[in-house]
């Protein structure tokens, strides 16, 4: 394997000369009547002029180093032609591309990563991704897409569609993507119940989902059990229901900061037995969520900037040490109405270190 790897590298590294323009550059302008004026003009007599040897091409102004094609920041209005067929990474970010056409990625079978961040893409042809049979990362953030594009490659592992105009995630949106590990859908105008129940259920391997800074009002239902991180901060979620977290036995990190949560239902934490870090800061909680003393692994819990008025001695720690497998390394409670002098020191008996607790005064905004 190592040898093969090295040979491959060696071959591609030593690929000789920098630049060659193989065929005609299509100017993509009007079909000139004039261009047909000179049929088969052969050079004058004498020896046939030498042709340049066949070398990899690179679109003008882009840089092609080995198999990385770097075309960012070029004001491109279309995906350029002449992308080398062996490209593994194509960076087209920060251009003015409006549309992805059917044949834009034709022949790019080896592409692993496609970066289209910060363009003006509104439409993607339904067959545009068909040639990309090995694509693993697709970054479409900061565009103008109204829908998640259809027919994405089955090989896809990471999909980022941050900051587009997506208003709806349907149940069938992500079917046929069994290899997805990371999904980032933040900053889209997703309102109320714009995410259908079970929309993520087909993503059997997904470990990270982030839907931050939208207007969804509840935790999406039917999340896959493979999930280890769920980030839903900056939404309008009002309640954490035990039902929505059912079966998330691998969840280790849950971010719910900056929502409008006033209630965490009993049993919610028990549905996430391996949770290690929970952010519930900047919400409308009036009590510490229940279930923390019984939870074996939770180490970090952010509760600052809520409306918690009292903290009991049994809120965080079990009566005896033995049931907890990990001590707390971070608890934040500042900016709550509870006066710190009313919280008894024994409340934090299962905390690793005094500095792990952040109390402090309540400041009315």
Partner 1 sequence: MRVLLLFLVLLLCHAKPYKPINIMELMKIHDIMQQDRDDDDDNDDNDDYVYNFKDNFISDCPFGCQCSRRVVQCSDLGLTSVPSDIPVDTLMIDLQNNDITQIKENDFKGLNNLYALFLVNNRISKIHPKAFKNTKKLQLLYLSYNLLTQIPESLPKNILELRLHDNKITKIQKEAFKGMQSLHVLEMSANPIANSGIELGAFNDMATLYLRIAEAKLTQVPKDLPSSLTELHLDYNTIAKVEVEDFIRYKNLLRLGLGYNQIKFVENGSLANIPKIREMHLDNNRLKRVPPGLNTLKYLQVVYLHGNSINSVGVNDFCPTRAKAKKALYTGISLFANPVKYWEIQPPTFRCISGHRAVQLGNFRKK
Residues 268-327 that bind partner 1 (CB under 8 A): 274, 276-277, 279, 297, 299-300, 324-327
- Burial class from Cβ neighbours inside 10 Å (0-12, 13-18, 19+) for residue 66 reads middle
Question: Residue 342: helix, strand or coil by DSSP?
Answer: helix
| Nearest distance in Å: CB 27, partner 1 | 5
Whole-number Å distance between alpha carbons of 183 and 225: 15
Question: Residue 105: helix, strand or coil by DSSP?
Answer: coil
345 binds partner 1 (CB under 8 A): no
Stretch that binds partner 1, among 33-41, 287-295, 310-318, 335-343 (CB under 8 A): 33-41
Pick between residue 14 and residue 346 the one whose CB is nearest to partner 1.
14
49 binds partner 1 (CB under 8 A): yes
Pick between residue 21 and residue 286 the one whose CB is nearest to partner 1.
21
Figure out which of the listed residues 23, 320, 354, 364 binds partner 1, where binding follows CB under 8 A. Answer: 23
80 binds partner 1 (CB under 8 A): no
**How many residues are listed for the chain in this entry?**
365
Residues 162-191 that bind partner 1 (CB under 8 A): 162-163, 182, 184, 186-187
| Nearest distance in Å: CB 48, partner 1 | 10
| Total number of residues that touch partner 1 (CB under 8 A) | 95
Residues 226-245 that bind partner 1 (CB under 8 A): 229, 231, 233-234
| Nearest distance in Å: CB 125, partner 1 | 25
Residues 84-143 that bind partner 1 (CB under 8 A): 88-89, 93-94, 112-113, 117-118, 141-142
Tokens standing for 318?
């079990």
16 binds partner 1 (CB under 8 A): yes
* DSSP code string of 160-181: E--SS----B-TTTTTT-TT--
* DSSP code string of 219-276: PPSS--TT--EEE-TTS---EE-TGGGTT-TT--EEE--SS---EE-TTTGGG-TT--
Q: Are 255 and 279 in contact (CB under 8 A)?
A: yes
Pick between residue 35 and residue 361 the one whose CB is nearest to partner 1.
35
Q: Are 164 and 143 in contact (CB under 8 A)?
A: yes
């Amino acid at each position: 394997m190592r040898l093969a790897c090295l040979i491959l590298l060696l071959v591609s590294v030593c690929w000789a000369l920098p630049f060659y323009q193989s065929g005609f550059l299509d100017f993509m302008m009007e079909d000139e009547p004039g261009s047909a004026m000179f049929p088969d003009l052969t050079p004058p007599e004498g020896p046939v002029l030498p042709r340049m040897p066949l070398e990899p091409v690179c679109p003008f102004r882009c840089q092609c180093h080995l198999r990385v094609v770097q075309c960012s920041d070029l004001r491109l209005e279309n995906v350029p032609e002449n992308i080398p067929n062996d490209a593994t990474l194509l960076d087209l970010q920060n251009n003015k591309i409006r549309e992805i056409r059917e044949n834009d990625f034709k022949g790019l079978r080896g592409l692993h990563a496609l970066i289209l961040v910060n363009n003006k893409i509104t439409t993607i042809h339904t067959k545009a991704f068909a040639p990309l049979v090995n694509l693993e990362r697709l970054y479409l953030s900061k565009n103008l897409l109204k829908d998640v594009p259809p027919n994405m490659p089955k090989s896809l592992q990471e999909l980022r569609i941050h900051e587009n105009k997506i208003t709806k995630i349907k149940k069938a949106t992500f079917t046929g993507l069994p290899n997805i590990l990371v999904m980032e859908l933040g900053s889209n105008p997703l309102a109320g119940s714009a995410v259908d129940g079970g929309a993520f259920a087909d993503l059997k391997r997904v470990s990270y989902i982030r839907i931050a800074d939208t207007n969804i009002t509840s935790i999406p239902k039917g999340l896959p059990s493979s999930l280890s991180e769920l980030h839903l901060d900056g939404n309008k979620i009002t309640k954490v229901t035990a039902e929505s977290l059912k079966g998330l036995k691998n969840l280790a990190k849950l971010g719910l900061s900056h929502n409008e949560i006033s209630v965490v239902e009993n049993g919610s934490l028990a549905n996430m037995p391996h949770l290690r870090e929970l952010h519930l800061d900047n919400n409308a909680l009036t009590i510490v969520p229940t279930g923390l003393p019984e939870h074996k692994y939770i180490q970090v819990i952010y509760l600052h900037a809520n409306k918690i008025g009292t903290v009991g001695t049994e809120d965080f720690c079990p009566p005896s040490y033995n049931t907890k497998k990990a001590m707390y390394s971070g608890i934040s409670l500042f900016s709550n109405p509870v006066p710190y002098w009313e919280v008894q020191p024994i409340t934090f008996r299962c905390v690793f270190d005094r500095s792990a607790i952040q109390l402090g005064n309540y400041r009315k905004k």
